Chains A and B, each alone.
Chain A
Amino acid sequence: MNSNELSVVMNQVASDAELAQTPLHHAQLEQLAAHTQTDDAGILLGERGLTGQLVLRIRGDLADASRAVESVLGLSLPDRLSFHGDPTDANGCALTWLSPDEWRLCCPIDRAFELEKALRNELSTIPGVTHAIVNNSGGFTLIDLSGRDALNLLKKSTGYDVRPHRFPIGKAVGTTFAKTSITLLRVGENQWQIWARRSFADYLWLWLQPTSRDYGLHILKE
């Protein structure tokens, strides 16, 4: 990078992928994965690897903005409390509604820079639309939750209504989880994704272990 050239958009990925640590790196989940039983565990947990995470803020004509976003991502802007794309696909993109003018794009980490530039370019051409894009890839831990007792674990942790017919696949909400806040996505029949702030990752991990105890806990390999 030329140090004289200030750029708002910055490639934030190091060339050496080995330098990065996910928020739950210290929990050594890889080793735990080898020691937990699969047969009768009711809870399956895993931390996703490094994921590109861009916060999209858009105000104005959302229909126009959505077309612009779709031209870049192949995904339109999801309506309230929902997401588009498959958040479980490490090689794909998923776009999640967070608040009336806020979405989060999850993408492969090495595409974040390119997509940020493309989205900025597309969105700036639309009259009546203002936007901001923020790279927040380091700010969150992404946890995959599944298993026959996943619902029970959620019921022990959040007051949100997670009954399957009230929380269909494709829904996403920001809510409380124990004493922290999360974004919760239902990504499959019995599959969920939990996003929590990086600094709360250890607390979350400490919470998830005893809360899973009654059901049996198996750690998934990334």
Chain B
Amino acid sequence: MLSEHQIHIQQKRRLKTGGVIDRSRPIRFSFNGKPLQGYEGDTLASALLANGIDVVGRSFKYSRPRGIMTAGIDEPNAVLQVGSTPAMQTPNVRATEQMLYEGLVCSSVNGWPSANTDAMSVLGKVGGNVMGPGFYYKTFMFPSSFWMTYEAVIRKAAGLGRSPKVRDAETYDHMNHHADVVVVGAGPAGLCAALAAAHAGVDVMLLDYRNSAGGELIARASEQLIDGKPALEWVQAAWDELQKLPNVTVLMNTLVNGCHDHNFLTAVERLQDHIAPKHRTPTARQRMHKIRAGELVLATGAHERPLVFGNNDVPGCFTSGAIVSYVKQFAVAPGEQLVVSTNNDSGYESALAWHEAGKEVVAIVDSRQEVTGDAYVAALNAGLNIVTGCAVIEASGKKRVQGVKIAAINAAHTQASYQTQDLVCDTVATSGGYSPVVHLASHTGSRPVWDESALGFVPGTTHEARHFCGSLLGRHGLSECLKTGTQAGLAAAEAWCRSNNTSLQSTKPFNAPTAPEHNVTPTAALYLVPHPRTPTRAPKQFVDLQNDVTAAAIFTATREGFENIEHVKRYTALGFGTDQGKTGNINGLAIVAKALGKSIEETGTTTFRPNYAPVSFGVMAGAHVGPLFDPKRFTAMQQSHLDRQADFEDVGQWKRPWYFAVGNETMDEAVRRECQATRESVGILDASTLGKIDIQGADAREFLNRVYTNAWAKLAPGRCRYGLMCGEDGMVFDDGVTACLGENHFHMTTTSGGAARVLEWLEVYHQTDWPELDVFFTSVTDHWSTMTISGPNSRKLLAKVCDDIDLSAEAFKFMDWKPGTVAGVPARVFRISFTGELSYEINVPAHYGAHVWEALFAAGEVFNLTPYGTETMHVLRAEKGFIIVGQDTDGSVTPMDLDHGWAVNNNKPFSFIGKRGMAREDCVRANRKQLVGLRTKNPSVVLPEGAQAVELGVELEAPVPMIGHVTSSYYSMALDRSIALALIEGGIDRYGETIAFPLLDDRIVHAEICSPVFYDPNNDAQKG
């Protein structure tokens, strides 16, 4: 810990008294490796200024030293890298908004190797001259292949911040809210709006990005009176009342970043950014609030505009409001001698604050000829030097202001006199008036409109349920803010009641507090301060400091034909960057207007889009990260699969066992073993993920007739049938076995990935096309655990655990189903097969799934019951030529293409979905790609899936006509050779012919086209 004396030396710009900081609680931090100290209550910016840090970074293009310019969210320069460990890096933190905490580590984002002695400075200046407006477009368009190289160089030289390279150590979450009235901004207008709405009895939510209420009143430690008492006392009372009201929710440290359709707001709460990492709790660092507002009151205030003059970027140039805030709120006077340049009364505030702090006010330079307002009188009474009809036209100095030149300005504010006067000073405060914060009001497309009397854009008309108040309306007087805030709050409550058919539950109406009216001299329209020389010859006059956009660049852009404000923005980069041009945009478009000889109104604004300020990716993701990124669905047998060392495959959101390796087996070895065990004895598959839909109703059968391509009229209770579903275009989109449970009751199965889509498909057709059909669909996918035992010993295995079903081949035939009891559990057993073996699909309620599964294993030990996964399932079904929708089909394959004409019945009384589609000319032409089998000439070569087929002997010079591709390919243990399925042009008529597959590795594999049924073509096994 430093001694009092050392702290004093360090904090050389700290005032001895005043401010809201706690001098008894020093806080250590470091900037660019330099240890410094501030006080509890400081922002990082105020602490840096207290320590006399003038340069916080280097500019983007010209590598000029830059210092802190504002005290708020609009700060363009003081964006720093914050974080002491690799896992806690936050780039581009506005120092003006970061509360100081013990041990804070920060550094400049763009000043390499250091902001104060920038090795890039010379390069940067050269580059800066090269990098005129439109630099990227002009210079780097050709050759385009060099772009990546250029970009790497520019990024290194000019980049802002660096993203963390390791996993974020902190967590984030989201929270949803609903409120009848939401008030954004807890300044005087917002407080009044919240109180007025709350008193009217509706649910109110109040948000502000600052850590305490009061808005500008706090920032300026205002000494104004509200209802006859000091403003901050009134703020405290209003705050206390809001905390007590049960129908009010207040969120501080919460910045509303997006205002979306239907008054949906996204806001980020900084929960722990102000806390030293070692004291942070496991709770989220930041929280995204998603707020649905009935009525929205925007009390977002206004940002002070700086004036644009020569060298206005030299450290020591501040906005006037920033000087007030640093002096009065943080007890920091960031200099000794101040010159104020202003076109309105609020510029005088900084001079008075400076004077009261015992520092020298060199001059107040006011561009207006006649000034009579209260502020002017107060400054006169304080004995300050006021120069009217003049403006600061340029500053001098490199790393710190050393003086200014002032010149007389004509009444129209268009010309500066050649006669200039030099003033010595180290600090400049400028005020160019106020720009209402219209961002949120404009996010959903409402264009702000120019208010000539306010010299600012104000919210335009909107169809949303919104109300505006306070400085946002362009009227900045305290009295006006209190009045419009109260009105907006009440209007919002009334509007909410109207649209919800209820009436106000007002107990005690809220009366607008009053504040004394002030005599104000109107603001002059001054943005770019005229200079005796033209903008291109005058010292650089910065409009957008973060992007190094100068007035000259804007003039150049308009001269080059970029006249639309959106084009100027993109050509010059005006308003891009992490600050989105909060200080520069209005000045920029005033300059565009001037250059084009148009009015600001005609020039218009660029488009305001969310987000208002940068948002961390972490808080966008919230808690939906890691294992929670996407839900994983498990069957009731998951623990059994884990116990048996399954490797898993994603099927939609399901986790399905892929294969069960024993010992050090590779996947290939495991799959061959699983295939062999199933073909020779018995294997078991968890098929619970299959989509299952219960269908009931008098018209259930008719409905099936219409959605499947085949006929269902004669399927008797107790029987099962395979069906294909097509889209209107006649293309296969799902398949599965459906069982007839009762005359009007069916159990449909779908593919695992297609379950939800099929249910929706059925519902859409029922609800929109055939609502007259009496049928109900209910998903029972999760209700049934499904386990398939397959192989010659499956009957014997089932007999060991089931004694109430006659399993004989005569009594329980292929494609029958029976109810019964398996391992003591009520079950439905379907004798269907996806392997070509004797096979039973046992369905039990899912809560018994694990028990029955294990019971089968216990009983199956003597048969070497082998669990198999999806890979073995794929091999076994391919050996039988059974398709997998989505693998062997791709949405362009008809049942005929699959040689599944047997599954299409064109004689059904009502049409079926896809009937007309598959009758289209293109669907019935010869030479369509058709599903066939392939036998490679070399039986040990397994074709890669996706391999393209060409005719044998074709010249392999591009373009080679391709005649199809491999859809499935495996090594078959049962056949001891490779097998493949493929879609080949006219393939069904080409059995016996040989085609070629030129592979990526230059091999050419020859294969013979054959029937896709490789194994047991007479179906003896599955019927056994």
Report the bound CA distance from A213 to B283 in whole Å.
7
A136 within 8 A of B: yes
- Give Cα distance in the complex from A158 to B178, angstroms: 11
Are A3 and B636 touching (Cβ within 8 A)? no
Chain B interface residue bracket vs A? 35 or more
Which residues of the other chain, A, contact B806 by a CB distance below 8 angstroms? Answer: 3-4
Instruction: Let me know if A137 and B635 touch, CB within 8 A.
Output: no
Partner of A138, one of B290, B718, B785: B785
Set of chain A residues within 8 Å of B850, measured between Cβ atoms: 21, 25
| B820 contacts A19, C-beta separation under 8 Å | no
**Nearest Cβ on chain B to A186's Cβ, whole angstroms:** 15
Nearest Cβ in chain B — how far from A201, in angstroms? 8
- Across the interface, do A202 and B177 meet the contact criterion of CB distance under 8 Å? no
Please tell me which stretch of A65-73, A76-84, A88-96, A204-212 contacts chain B, meaning at least 4 of its Cβ atoms lie within 8 angstroms of it: A204-212
Given known contacts A7-B819, A159-B176, A213-B282, A12 and B628 CB-to-CB distance under 8 angstroms = no
CB of B741 within 8 A of CB of A8, answer yes
Taking a contact as CB atoms under 8 Å apart, the answer to whether A199 and B782 are in contact is yes
| CB of B402 within 8 Å of the partner chain | no
- Pair A8/B745 contact, Cβ less than 8 Å: yes
Known: A130-B774, A134-B696. Contact between A203 and B782, CB under 8 A? no
Q: How far is the CA of A2 from the CA of B781 in the complex (A)?
A: 26
| Interface hub of A137, A198, A203 (most chain B Cβ within 10 A) | A198
- Interface residue A197 (Cβ < 8 Å from any Cβ of B): yes
> Quick check: is B275 within 8 A (CB to CB) of the other chain?
no
Q: Does B387 contact A (CB under 8 A)?
A: no
Chain B residues, CB < 8 A from A197: 782
Task: Return the chain A residue nearest B822 by Cβ.
Answer: A14
Contact check, B804 vs A6: say whether CB atoms are below 8 A apart.
no
Distance of A138 Cα from B283 Cα, bound (Å): 36
A97 CB within 8 Å of chain B: no
B741 touches which of A6, A11, A20 (Cβ 8 Å)? A6
B742 lies within 8 A of chain A by Cβ: yes
The distance from the CB of A56 to the nearest CB of chain B, in whole angstroms, is: 10
A134 to chain B minimum Cβ distance, whole angstroms, is: 4
Whether B825 pairs with A19 at a CB distance below 8 angstroms is: yes
Which one of B176, B284, B634, B694 lies within 8 Å of A199 (CB-CB)?
B634
A contact residues around B28 at 8 Å (CB)? none
**Across-interface contacts of B638 in A (CB, < 8 A):** 26, 202
Give CA–CA (A156, B818) in the complex, Å: 47
CB distance from A7 to the nearest CB of B (A): 7
Contacts of A6 in B (CB 8 A): 717-718, 741-742, 818-819
Measured in the bound complex, the distance between the Cα atoms of B825 and A50 in whole Å is 15
- Contact digits for A72-116, partner B, Cβ 8 Å, 1 yes 0 no: 000000000000000000000000000001000000000000000
Residues 1-59 of A at the B interface (beta carbon under 8 Å): 1-4, 6-8, 10-16, 19-23, 25-26, 50, 55, 57, 59
Does A125 lie at the interface of the complex (its beta carbon under 8 Å from any beta carbon of B)? no
Q: How far is the CB of B504 from chain A (nearest CB, A)?
A: 16
Complexed CA–CA distance, A10 and B634 (Å): 26
Cβ contacts under 8 Å, A210 to chain B: 171, 623, 628
Q: Is there contact, CB below 8 Å, between B826 and A156?
A: no
Among candidates A132, A155, A160, A180, residue contacting B175 with C-beta atoms closer than 8 Å: A155
B805 touches A138 (CB 8 A): no
Indicate if B522 sits at the interface (CB-CB under 8 A): no
In the complex, A188 has a CB within 8 A of chain B: no
- The answer to whether A3 touches B178, judged by C-beta atoms less than 8 angstroms apart, is no
Contact with A along B806-836 (1 / 0, CB 8 A): 1000000000001111011110100000000
A19:B778 contact, CB within 8 angstroms: no
Residues of A within 8 A of B821 (CB): 1
A22 vs B284: C-alpha distance in the bound complex, in angstroms?
Answer: 32
Closest A residue to B700 by CB, please name it.
A132
- A3: B residues at CB distance < 8 A: 804-806, 818-820
Distance in angstroms from A173 CB to nearest chain B CB is: 13
List A residues 173-192 near B (Cβ within 8 Å): 178-180
Interface residues of B in 889-916 (CB under 8 A from A): none
Chain A positions within 8 Å of B252 at CB level = none
A1: contacting residue among B697, B717, B742, B826, CB under 8 A: B826
User: Is B780 on the interface with A (CB-CB < 8 A)?
Assistant: yes
A121 to B745, CA, bound (A): 16
List the A side residues contacting B745 at CB < 8 Å: 8
Q: Which of B371-379, B608-616, B724-732, B840-848 lies at the interface with chain A?
A: B840-848
* A214 at the binding interface (Cβ < 8 Å): yes
Partner of A19, one of B171, B805, B851: B851
Decide yes or no whether B579 CB sits under 8 A from chain A.
no
Bound-state CA distance A130–B630 (Å) is 39
Given contacts A12-B845, A130-B697, A163-B178, contact A137 B783 (CB under 8 A): yes
Q: How far is the CA of A13 from the CA of B781 in the complex (A)?
A: 18
The answer to the question of A135 belonging to the interface, with a C-beta cut-off of 8 Å to chain B, is yes
Please judge, given known A-B contacts A6-B742, A134-B696, A159-B290, whether A199 and B635 are in contact too, CB under 8 Å: yes
Q: A1-B819, A199-B633 are in contact. Are A20 and B696 (CB under 8 A)?
A: no
A166-B178, A198-B846 are contacts. A14–B825 as well, Cβ < 8 Å?
Answer: yes
Mark A127-163 against chain B: 1 for CB-CB distance below 8 A, else 0. Answer: 0001111111111100000000000100110111101
B639 within 8 A of A: yes
A21 touching B178, Cβ below 8 Å = no
Query: Which chain A residues border B627 with CB–CB below 8 Å?
Result: 206
How far does the alpha carbon of A219 sit from the alpha carbon of B718 in the complex, in Å?
45
Q: How far is the CB of A50 from chain B (nearest CB, A)?
A: 6
Whether A1 pairs with B292 at a CB distance below 8 angstroms is: no
Return chain B residues, CB-CB under 8 Å to A140: 782
Q: Which of B635, B778, B820, B826 contacts A55 (CB 8 A)?
A: B778
Structural contact, A19 and B848, CB atoms closer than 8 A: yes
Decide: A158 near B176, CB < 8 A? Known: A22-B847, A199-B635. yes
Cα separation A19 to B785 with both chains bound (whole Å): 14
| Most chain A CB neighbours (cut-off 10 Å) among B635, B821, B845 | B845
Q: Which of A59, A136, A155, A179 is B631 in contact with, Cβ under 8 Å?
A: A179
Interface residues of B in 501-528 (CB under 8 A from A): none
Q: Which of B290, B634, B824 contacts A202 (CB 8 A)?
A: B634
Cβ contact within 8 Å between B847 and A57: no
- A60 → chain B closest CB, angstroms: 10
B698 on the interface (CB 8 Å rule)? yes
| Smallest beta-carbon distance B287→chain A, Å | 9
* Least Cβ–Cβ distance between A124 and chain B, in angstroms: 11
The interface residues of chain B lying within 8 Å CB-to-CB of A214 are: 283-284
Which residues from B are CB-within-8-Å of A161?
Answer: 178, 292
A116–B682 alpha-carbon span in the complex (Å): 37
Residue of A11, A25, A203 most packed against chain B (CB within 10 A): A203
Q: Report if A57-B778 is in contact (Cβ < 8 Å); known contacts: A10-B819, A178-B628, A180-B631.
A: yes
A159–B260 Cα distance when bound, in Å, is 15
Bound form: Cα–Cα A161–B698 in Å: 39
- Bound-complex Cα distance A134 to B845 (A): 12
Q: How far is the CA of A211 from the CA of B309 in the complex (A)?
A: 52
B355 within 8 Å of A (CB atoms): no
Q: Decide if B576 is an interface residue (CB 8 Å cutoff).
A: no
Complex CA gap A206/B882 in Å reads 38
Residues of B within 8 A of A (CB): 171, 173-178, 203, 282-284, 290, 292, 623-624, 627-628, 630-636, 638-639, 654, 694, 696-698, 717-718, 741-742, 745, 774, 776, 778-785, 804-806, 818-821, 823-826, 828, 845-851
17 intermolecular pairs with C-beta atoms under 8 Å apart = A3-B804, A4-B806, A10-B828, A13-B826, A19-B824, A21-B850, A22-B847, A132-B696, A135-B783, A138-B847, A138-B849, A139-B782, A152-B175, A178-B624, A199-B634, A199-B635, A210-B623
A sample of 7 more A-B contacts (CB under 8 A), given A166-B178, A199-B781, is A12-B826, A20-B848, A138-B783, A155-B175, A198-B636, A199-B782, A203-B632
List of 5 A-B pairs having minimum Cβ-Cβ separation, nearest first: A138-B846, A132-B696, A132-B776, A139-B783, A138-B845
Q: Which residue numbers of A lie inside 8 Å of B, CB to CB? A: 1-4, 6-8, 10-16, 19-23, 25-26, 50, 55, 57, 59, 101, 130-140, 152, 155-156, 158-161, 163, 166, 178-180, 197-200, 202-203, 206-207, 210-211, 213-214
